[in-house]
């Protein structure tokens, strides 16, 4: 029994010791948690100053009222004012000479090519000789007819003989007239062996080849008359109302240079498929414009005052244009605007903006509506100094 009592007493002390150790561990854990949670709770309570920290440093600009050229932009093809197709009117003769090539500038009456004319020269000489013979026969017939008329009243010749002499005279006269007509036709055919330029211009195509057999109506050359070009611009029915004859036009050519022109005429109809009208613009010479070019041009309507901003101040989002205005508390307010024409690095604002509005000049893609910003004066910073963060 005493041994049993001793064992029970020892077990009770062990349990008590374990309870004391457990309580100590719990106390240490509570103290540790208090020391960790307390600083976090302090951080989680933000101050007003940290909540209003600026999102971005920006510079501001105000709209500028400037003289703005009013233009209508259009596209179209450059074409020849008149393109002449040059051919021959005779057939069955070979080309003996071709004197010009594509790109050559020619004058009116200049020989472009020759057709072999040896046969026609011989035929013309033969016709001329036949005319001389017919004229001799006519002279003899005329003398006989004159004698018959003189003796007609005396009755020396019968009426039948007199009619024969007069008929012979008329026949000889008709033959001479027919031969002279043939001589004129042969002369004309001989002249047609020379292919000449009908007007001043530049050769744009050459189908003539030495030795080829010429055919009547066959195209041998193509010529831009007077080297005169025109721009055929397509404009909408709405834009058509602003365009008038004699209006100045500026074209941007593929090489970056500009060509000047003047509106000559406006097509009287609008295409039912495209709903566009054609404007014919005469181009001035001495430019790099070539027929067949597809170019953009600007019709100069005049000059008006326009409210403009730098393009960097405009944000395009979801298909709309926005700017950011800054209120007195330095908060950005997103504002929807309507834009007009662009010119250089500036854009016209036609709606949604007043002249005294303070607008973020650049970096608008990093802003959201309601963001607080830090405003700095861009003129006070050197060009190479980045804006402070």
Q: Are residues 179 and 280 in the same domain?
A: no
Q: Are residues 108 and 191 in the same domain?
A: yes
Closest CA to 9 of 1, 22, 23: 1
Does some domain include residue 31? Answer: no
Q: Are residues 100 and 179 in the same domain?
A: yes
Determine the pLDDT at residue 38: 42
Does some domain include residue 360? Answer: yes
Does some domain include residue 345? Answer: yes
Per-residue pLDDT tens, the chain, 389 aa: give them. Answer: 454 454 455 566 666 667 777 766 666 665 555 544 444 443 444 444 445 666 678 888 888 888 877 888 999 999 999 999 999 989 889 999 999 999 999 999 999 999 999 989 999 999 999 999 999 999 999 998 888 888 777 767 778 888 888 899 899 999 999 999 999 999 999 999 999 999 999 999 999 999 999 888 889 999 999 999 999 999 999 899 889 999 999 999 998 899 999 999 999 999 999 999 999 999 987 678 999 999 999 998 888 888 889 988 898 888 899 988 888 888 888 889 988 878 778 888 888 888 888 888 888 888 888 888 888 865 444 433 333 33
Q: Are residues 104 and 191 in the same domain?
A: yes
Q: Are residues 292 and 238 in the same domain?
A: yes
Q: Are residues 345 and 369 in the same domain?
A: yes
The CA-atom distances, in angstroms, between 297 and each of 43, 228, 242, 321 are 64, 18, 15, 26
| Tokens read off for 237 | 């029915």
Task: Point out the domain boundary residue: 279, 304, 329.
Answer: 304
Q: Are residues 92 and 77 in the same domain?
A: no
Q: Are residues 261 and 231 in the same domain?
A: yes
Closest CA to 348 of 304, 378, 318, 317: 304
- The CATH number given to whatever domain includes residue 279 is 2.40.30.170
- How many domains does the chain divide into? 3
Q: Look at residue 386 and give its three-state secondary structure.
A: coil
Does some domain include residue 42? Answer: no
Q: Are residues 296 and 310 in the same domain?
A: no
Determine the pLDDT at residue 178: 94
Q: Are residues 200 and 240 in the same domain?
A: no
Does some domain include residue 254? Answer: yes
Parent domain of 99: 88-206
Q: Are residues 102 and 192 in the same domain?
A: yes
Task: Point out the domain boundary residue: 160, 178, 206.
Answer: 206
Determine the pLDDT at residue 11: 62
Query: Burial of 78 by CB count in 10 Å (0-12 exposed, 13-18 middle, 19+ buried)?
Result: buried
Q: Are residues 328 and 297 in the same domain?
A: no
| Tokens read off for 171 | 């026949």
Task: Point out the domain boundary residue: 304, 329, 350.
Answer: 304
Closest CA to 279 of 271, 288, 291, 287: 271
- The CATH number given to whatever domain includes residue 359 is 2.40.420.20
Does some domain include residue 46? Answer: no
Does some domain include residue 37? Answer: no
Q: Look at residue 365 and give its three-state secondary structure.
A: helix
Does some domain include residue 366? Answer: yes
């Amino acid at each position: 029994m005493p041994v049993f009592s001793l064992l029970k007493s020892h077990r009770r002390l062990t349990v008590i010791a374990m309870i004391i150790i457990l309580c100590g561990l719990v106390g240490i854990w509570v103290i540790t948690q208090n020391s960790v949670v307390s600083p976090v709770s302090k951080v989680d309570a933000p101050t007003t100053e940290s909540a209003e920290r600026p999102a971005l440093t920006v510079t501001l600009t105000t709209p500028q009222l400037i003289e703005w050229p009013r233009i209508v932009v259009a596209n179209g093809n450059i074409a020849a004012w008149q393109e002449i197709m040059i051919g021959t009117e005779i057939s069955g003769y070979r080309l003996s000479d071709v004197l010009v090539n594509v790109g050559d500038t020619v004058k009116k009456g200049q020989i472009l090519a020759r057709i072999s004319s040896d046969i026609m020269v011989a035929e013309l000489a033969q016709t001329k000789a036949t005319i001389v013979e017919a004229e001799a026969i006519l002279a003899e017939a005329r003398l006989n007819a004159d004698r018959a008329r003189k003796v007609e009243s005396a009755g020396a010749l019968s009426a039948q003989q007199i009619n024969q002499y007069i008929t012979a005279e008329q026949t000889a006269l008709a033959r001479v007239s027919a031969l002279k007509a043939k001589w004129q036709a042969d002369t004309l055919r001989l002249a047609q062996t020379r292919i000449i330029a009908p007007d001043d211009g530049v050769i744009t195509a050459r189908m003539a080849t030495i030795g080829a057999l010429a055919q009547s109506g066959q195209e041998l050359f193509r010529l831009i008359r007077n080297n005169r070009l025109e721009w055929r611009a397509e404009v909408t029915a709405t834009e058509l109302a602003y365009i008038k004859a004699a209006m100045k036009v500026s074209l941007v050519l593929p090489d970056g240079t500009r060509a000047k022109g003047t509106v000559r005429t406006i097509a009287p109809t609008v295409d039912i498929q495209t709903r566009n009208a054609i404007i014919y613009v005469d181009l001035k010479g001495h430019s790099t414009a070539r027929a067949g070019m597809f170019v953009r041009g600007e019709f100069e309507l005049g000059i008006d005052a326009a409210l403009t901003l730098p393009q960097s101040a405009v944000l395009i989002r979801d298909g709309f244009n926005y700017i950011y205005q800054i209120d007195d508390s330095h908060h950005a307010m997103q504002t929807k605007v309507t834009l007009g024409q662009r010119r250089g690095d500036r854009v016209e604002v036609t709606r949604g903006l007043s002249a005294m509005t303070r607008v973020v000049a650049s970096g608008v893609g990093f802003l959201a509506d309601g963001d607080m910003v830090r405003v700095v004066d861009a003129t006070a910073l050197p060009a190479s100094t980045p804006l402070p963060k």
